[in-house]
């Protein structure tokens, strides 16, 4: 699978209750342009998990994918770290 032009994001699984779907919280960090303070923002993405492999607390990577539903436009790429 060639994915040179697709975006990959890393985050924490916050929900795996839906069948074949995980909700991943991706955090980004940047310096505020005026106040020069480090600011953290997070956004939740719904991602397709075909085999229900990822569970809550896992650190995963998701990749851009064609729309699979109204809110699912990402797919599970790989599990980086399992939760304890």
d(CA 70, CA 81): 28
What was the pLDDT predicted at 57? 98
CA dihedral 29, 59, 78, 4 (to 10 degrees): 0
Tens-digit pLDDT string for the chain (84 aa): 565 689 999 999 999 999 999 999 999 999 999 999 999 999 999 999 999 999 999 999 999 999 999 999 999 999 999 998
What b/e readout covers 28-51, taking b as 16+ CB neighbours within 10 angstroms? eeeeeeeeeeeeeeeeebbbbbee
Whether pTM exceeds 0.85: yes
d(CA 45, CA 62): 9
At the top level of CATH, the class of 8-81 is mainly beta
Domain boundaries, given as residue ranges, for the chain: 8-81
What was the pLDDT predicted at 10? 98
What was the pLDDT predicted at 2? 65
């Amino acid at each position: 699978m060639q994915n040179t032009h697709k975006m990959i994001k890393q985050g924490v699984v916050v929900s795996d209750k839906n069948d074949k779907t995980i909700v991943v919280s991706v955090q980004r960090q940047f310096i505020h342009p005026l106040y020069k303070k480090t600011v953290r923002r997070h956004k939740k993405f719904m991602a397709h998990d075909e085999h229900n492999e990822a569970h809550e607390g896992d650190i995963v990577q998701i990749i851009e994918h064609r729309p699979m539903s109204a809110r699912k436009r990402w797919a599970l790429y790989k599990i980086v770290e399992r939760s304890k």
